[in-house]
Amino acid sequence: MYHYDAIPYTPQPFAQTHPQQLAILGRLFGIASTDPGRCRVLELGAATGGNLIPMAWYYPQCEFVGIELEPSQVAAGQALIEELGLTNIRFLQGDILTVDVLALGKFDYIIAHGVFSWIPENVRDAMLRLYKQCLQPNGIGYISYNASPGWHARGMVREMLLYHIRDIKDPVAQLNAALEFIDLMVDTLTSQESSLARYLLEEFHYLQHANHSYVFHEFLEPYNHSYLFSDFIYLLEQNGLNFVCESQLASMFAQRYGDRAEAFADTVDDGVRRETYLDFFNQRTLRESLICHAELQPDYAIDLDLLQQISVVSQLAPPQHLETGKAKAQLFTLPGGRKYSVTDPVAKLMLKRLYHAYPNALPCASLFQEIIDNSTIRYEQGDEWQHEIFSLFVSGALQLVASPTSLESAIKSRPQAHALARAQARDKHPITGYWHDVIDGDSFTLALIQRLDNMSDIEHLVDSMTQELADGKLCLPGLNIKTINPAKLRVQVENNIQRLLQLFCRQGLLL
């Protein structure tokens, strides 16, 4: 029935499933969620642990349990757990239908990413019963699922691929046939001008470059159900559960879809119907919903004064010249290049301080007071900074977290990456930072991380990696060895190593 053994998922962290994210969203909506630094977390469909193991590594005071159906994936995850010497995480091989919920106990957070839509209905129902039985009274659950009607358009691609592989039994052969057909469809659609052809071309072109495990498990598995939001809510209600919010809060604000959509949404006084219409407006294909016990009633009148009780972490880089004499919009930039406009002078200075403090989270209240005490800003009592910080959080530009951190990470004369990062680099898996985001790793980056074992100083690293580049044993993207002299090559390697060490330091990878 399932083919995750033959074609396993590429291990990957999902920041939206992290207990820090779930805890804060719960608190924003009035649920007294458990301290994410000292909690129990259960993941259903844990695969080889790409999501759960980094959480256990960075949060040693928490307990993590992963349940996975495929024995080979459990074995791979358990092997890495043992290699890293982690004692706060365990993997269980088992079926959601038959798992002993009493033996599992209660959890503060339960997560299932990429499971709900891809299992039979009886397993789906057992999964919801497990949430009801295993969530603590104030617990928060996370479930991702394909959303109707938006996913129906993507479902056309699935229907075509399933037809093409209908007579093939071997999963690897199915995948290879599907990849060939995807290429054929791209060639066929390229010359067509209809709007439907343009849409399908975009979908098939994306699949040409997508991870093969994603192609198989999203489009070729026997089960893939999409749900209207109202139908998902019905299933929750049948199992004594309630909807809290979406992991991406921005999707819940109607104004992002235009004035007319906002005016219409304001006439819909039923929350379920309103969210269903928002799915229509944005053609949503995937939902990532947070849930709780039916006995809890989320409060959707968010009080921004809550910011005074929590902390914030941000990588938003300030502009070269910061205008703090008056309220003037300026652009702050994330590492990937995306820009966000900030107007309030206090918020600007807070963000500048946070950028230099990263990866540490700072408490909002004391950070605000620090800015007021140590700047020449003429502050008039108001909550503009709160609105700016909250809007940036809603947009995904920064993170709100339950408590401050004081991580001590520095570049030493003999740099050392922690064991998790070196194991991920060795296995060519995504490198996971402290805040559960992925660090893009080309071959040079992965090679450097593996060498950061406290045995070599930076000069030796530069010499050895320069020589390997010259010998063709290593490559640096964008560098043509044939057109650069040895001296310039060494300078380029040194600059790249220094840049990467700074990145690793800011992501909490160095000891």
The per-residue DSSP string of 468-498 comes to HHHTTSS--TT--GGGS-HHHHHHHHHHHHH
Q: Would you call 341 helix, strand, or coil by DSSP?
A: strand
481 found inside a domain: yes
Shared domain check, 165 and 144: no
Q: Residue holding tokens 């006439």? A: 267
The per-residue DSSP string of 399-430 comes to EEESS---------SS-BB-HHHHHHHHTTPP
Shared domain check, 160 and 83: no
299 found inside a domain: no
Helical ranges in 45-85 per DSSP H? 52-58, 71-84
* Residue 480 confidence class, pLDDT cut points 50, 70, 90: confident
Q: Which CATH number fits the domain that encloses residue 391?
A: 3.90.930
Q: What pLDDT score does 1 carry?
A: 44
Shared domain check, 393 and 367: yes
- The total number of structural domains in the chain stands at 4
Q: What pLDDT score does 449 carry?
A: 97
Shared domain check, 52 and 163: no
Question: For residues 133 and 158, is the Cβ–Cβ distance under 8 A?
Answer: no
Query: Under 8 Å CB-to-CB from 309, ≥6 apart: which residues?
Result: 364, 365
Residues 370-400 as b or e (16 or more Cβ within 10 Å = b):
ebeeeeebeeeeeeebbebbbbbbbebbbbb
Nearest to 66 by CA among 25, 96, 24, 97: 96
Q: Would you call 511 helix, strand, or coil by DSSP?
A: coil
Shared domain check, 123 and 256: yes
- Range with the poorest average pLDDT among 51-65, 191-205, 477-491: 477-491
Shared domain check, 324 and 374: yes
Q: Phi first, then psi: what are they for 312, rounded to 5°?
A: -140, 145
408 found inside a domain: no
Length of the chain, in residues: 511
Per cent of the chain over pLDDT 70 is 98
31 found inside a domain: yes
124 found inside a domain: yes
Shared domain check, 137 and 259: yes
The range of the structural domain enclosing residue 441 comes to 419-506
Shared domain check, 155 and 144: no
The pLDDT of residue 164 is above 70: yes
What is the pairing mode between strands 339-342 and 330-333? antiparallel
308 found inside a domain: yes
Shared domain check, 126 and 23: yes
Q: pLDDT for 276-300, tens place per residue? A: 999 999 999 999 999 999 999 999 9
Shared domain check, 159 and 135: no
Q: pLDDT for 299-330, tens place per residue? A: 999 999 999 999 999 999 999 999 988 889 99
3 found inside a domain: no
Q: What pLDDT score does 25 carry?
A: 97
311 found inside a domain: yes
The pLDDT of residue 373 is above 90: no
Q: Which CATH number fits the domain that encloses residue 24?
A: 3.40.50.150
Q: What pLDDT score does 511 carry?
A: 92
Alpha carbon 377 to its chain centroid, in Å, reads: 36
Query: Under 8 Å CB-to-CB from 413, ≥6 apart: which residues?
Result: 457, 458
The pLDDT of residue 381 is above 60: no
Q: Would you call 340 helix, strand, or coil by DSSP?
A: strand
CA distance 349 to 338: 19
Which helix (H) or strand (E) covers residue 110, if one does? strand 107-112
Q: pLDDT for 1-34, tens place per residue? A: 455 566 777 789 999 999 999 999 999 999 999 9
Question: What is the pLDDT of the chain when averaged over all its residues?
Answer: 93
Shared domain check, 202 and 117: no
Q: pLDDT for 54-99, tens place per residue? A: 999 999 999 999 999 999 999 999 999 999 999 999 999 999 999 9
3-state helix, strand, coil in the chain (%, to 5): 50, 15, 35
Shared domain check, 127 and 156: no
The pLDDT of residue 457 is above 90: yes
